Amino acid sequence: MSNPVLETQSSGAESFRDTTSTISKGKRMWLFPKKQTGKIFKWRNVVAYILLGLLIIWPFLKYDGHPIFLFNVLERKFIFFGIPFWPQDFFLFGLTMVTLIVFIIFFTSIFGRWWCGWSCPQTIFMEFIFRKIEYWIEGDSHQQRLLAESNWDSRKIRIKSIKVFIFYFISFFIANIFLAYIIGIDELYKIATEPISQHLGGFIAIIIFSFVFFFVFAYMREQVCLVVCPYGRLQGVLLDKNSIVVAYDHLRGEPRGKISDKANLHGDCIDCKLCVNVCPTGIDIRNGTQLECINCAACIDACDSIMNKVNKPEGLIRYASSDSIEKRNSFRFTTRMWAYLFVFTLLFTIASVLIIRRPIVETTVLRAPGQLFMKQPGGKISNLFTVTLVNKTFHDQDVELKLVDFNAELKLMGQQKLHLLKDGSLNEPFLIVADEEIIKKNKNALAIEVYVNGKMIDVVKSTFIGPVKFHHDDSDGSEKEKPKENEHTKI
Ligand code: SF4
Ligand code: SF4
């Protein structure tokens, strides 16, 4: 059977791919999408309001006295599902991000832009908050268009002013929620309740965020998905003909024709254009998969309602891969998808093991720079080290260092005990003192066990430098062993 979409491509009628649906001759074309209704839209409402609820509630939830999520880029403090990450965990954080990106690639290769249509905050705020308020204030698509084209009279000024006021108020609320994820709800509460002069930076941030959100939802709208969002721009390489997208069944729908065509020699599409009129990005999905499609499924609902009216089966536009439409087969898990799944599983396993095994106190032992060993009274020698401890928990911790199988004494120089304050770090010099008699070599490997509140959590390794054991080589009269420059090791 011939493929009309391919035919239009070969005839050069693919000019719609050269421009975006909302920009013409460098000018923005404002969209007035029709109100969405239908089965899928109902489910999207449920999902959207659950996600919105979670987004709003999460900053208030605490675990162990701390937020469940915190993305404090200013102080480089991150909490993810209650697990704190510190600047020292940058590697882990990076690995987690790479794992997430691979998961997104894997997910997109199967389900296309499902995320955009169902869960992206941009879509949820736009379609389920701002757009609904707009319908409530200005009416459906047709009334909005009339209002936009009408002269600025008192009615228009009143309607637009109410809309701007409500939009800004909601943007202000969203700005507060987002700031709560960055600085925490307690800090946000202080900004809200204490004199502005004490929190000028935070106050200015809220105002700026509010204007940014207002600008995005009142003006930018679908342009965020079309030209700003990097995920949207990547669709061309993430999708293939086996990905499940919102697709028009051209084999069934074409040649399209008006219902008034009594001979009814056309396919199921009656060219009512409802699928185009509801589209929040202004595209015609009948042209095939396009970069602008955010998989919101509004066109599926719209077309299903038409199919019901003309007594044709639903699903002329549906979730399907282009391969399944062309060949009438079911979904196939391709080699490419298996490969993504393999890489994701590998990275996820590595990241999980590293996070689970991450010690609660990070310990680094360094030999004092520029020093080898020191002679001590009583035939003893010592090496000077510095231990750096980073507390990765929200509790104070008592730390103890013990030498393993090394007949020497570990002496703290500054304080009797290593006490780490919550979220704190500590640099402490210490000596390892040994009998000169038992130090046989120039370089002696040593291991130090790290105990936190009596439980061993880590073992760090270093070297103990002994006196130079020169020996005379009778063959050439040279000295064979010399101490190397100062060294340190950390595991
Ligand atoms: S084509 Fe359909 S699924 Fe894609 S953005 Fe438009 S209405 Fe949503
Ligand atoms: S809504 Fe369905 S019938 Fe109407 S134009 Fe779109 S695809 Fe054709």
Q: Which domain holds residue 352?
A: 1-358
Ligand 2 centre distance from Cα of residue 273 (Å): 5
| 56 and 74 co-located in one domain | yes
- CA–CA separation, 350 and 373 (whole Å): 40
Pocket of ligand 1 contains residue 299 by CB under 6 Å: yes
Closest CA to 390 of 413, 365, 411, 409: 365
The answer to whether the beta carbons of residues 170 and 52 sit under 8 Å apart is: no
Pocket of ligand 2 contains residue 298 by CB under 6 Å: no
Ligand 1 centre distance from Cα of residue 282 (Å): 8
In a domain, 491, yes or no: no
In a domain, 103, yes or no: yes
Domain of 430, CATH number, reads 2.60.40.10
Ligand 1 centre distance from Cα of residue 117 (Å): 9
Q: What amino acid occupies position 287?
A: N
| 247 and 387 co-located in one domain | no
Mark which of 358, 390, 415 sits at the end of a domain: 358
Report the nearest-CA residue for atom 7 of ligand 1.
Answer: 279
Pocket of ligand 2 contains residue 315 by CB under 6 Å: no
| 136 and 6 co-located in one domain | yes
Closest CA to 431 of 383, 389, 463, 388: 383
Pocket of ligand 1 contains residue 22 by CB under 6 Å: no
Mark which of 358, 373, 393 sits at the end of a domain: 358
- CA–CA separation, 176 and 174 (whole Å): 5
Q: What is the pLDDT along the chain (491 residues), one digit of tens a residue?
A: 333 333 333 344 566 666 677 877 778 889 999 999 999 999 999 999 999 999 999 999 998 888 999 988 888 888 888 888 888 788 888 899 899 999 999 999 999 999 999 999 999 999 999 999 999 999 999 999 999 999 999 999 999 999 999 999 999 999 999 999 999 999 999 999 999 888 898 899 999 999 999 999 999 999 999 889 988 888 878 888 899 999 999 999 988 888 776 666 688 999 999 999 999 999 999 998 888 899 999 999 999 999 999 999 999 999 999 889 988 888 888 899 999 999 999 999 999 999 888 888 999 999 887 778 888 888 889 999 999 999 888 888 999 999 988 888 899 887 778 888 887 888 899 999 988 888 878 888 889 999 998 889 999 999 888 886 555 445 554 444 444 444 433 33
Ligand 1 centre distance from Cα of residue 214 (Å): 24
Q: Three-state DSSP class for 461?
A: strand
Atom of ligand 1 nearest to the CA of 300: 2
- CA–CA separation, 466 and 484 (whole Å): 11
Domains: count for the chain: 2
Report the nearest-CA residue for atom 2 of ligand 2.
Answer: 303
In a domain, 490, yes or no: no
Mutate to test the pocket of ligand 1, among 244, 294, 303, 316 (most ligand atoms within 8 A of CB): 294
Residue 17 makes CB contacts below 8 A (sequence gap 6+) with 290
- CA–CA separation, 250 and 316 (whole Å): 8
* pLDDT value of position 4: 36
| 280 and 384 co-located in one domain | no
The answer to pTM > 0.85 is no
* pLDDT value of position 8: 39
Report the nearest-CA residue for atom 2 of ligand 1.
Answer: 299
Count the alpha carbons within 13 Å of 367 in the hemisphere toward its beta carbon. Answer: 23
| 292 and 366 co-located in one domain | no
Mutate to test the pocket of ligand 1, among 16, 113, 296, 301 (most ligand atoms within 8 A of CB): 296
In a domain, 236, yes or no: yes
- CA–CA separation, 252 and 315 (whole Å): 10
| 253 and 397 co-located in one domain | no
Measured from the alpha carbon of residue 40, the closest ligand is 1
Pairing of β 425-435 and β 409-412: antiparallel
Mark which of 323, 358, 393 sits at the end of a domain: 358
| 276 and 299 co-located in one domain | yes
In a domain, 342, yes or no: yes
| 301 and 443 co-located in one domain | no
Closest CA to 20 of 249, 217, 221: 221
- CA–CA separation, 223 and 219 (whole Å): 9
In a domain, 471, yes or no: no
| 251 and 225 co-located in one domain | yes
Pocket of ligand 2 contains residue 269 by CB under 6 Å: yes
| 344 and 365 co-located in one domain | no
CA 369 to chain centre: 41
| 328 and 382 co-located in one domain | no
Mutate to test the pocket of ligand 2, among 36, 246, 249, 272 (most ligand atoms within 8 A of CB): 272
In a domain, 99, yes or no: yes
| 349 and 378 co-located in one domain | no
For residue 255, say if its preceding peptide bond is cis, omega within 30 degrees of 0: yes
Q: What is the dihedral of CA 322, 327, 328, 330, to 10 degrees?
A: -70
Report the nearest-CA residue for atom 4 of ligand 2.
Answer: 272
In a domain, 488, yes or no: no
Pocket of ligand 1 contains residue 325 by CB under 6 Å: no
Q: What amino acid occupies position 412?
A: L
Closest CA to 386 of 368, 360, 362, 411: 368
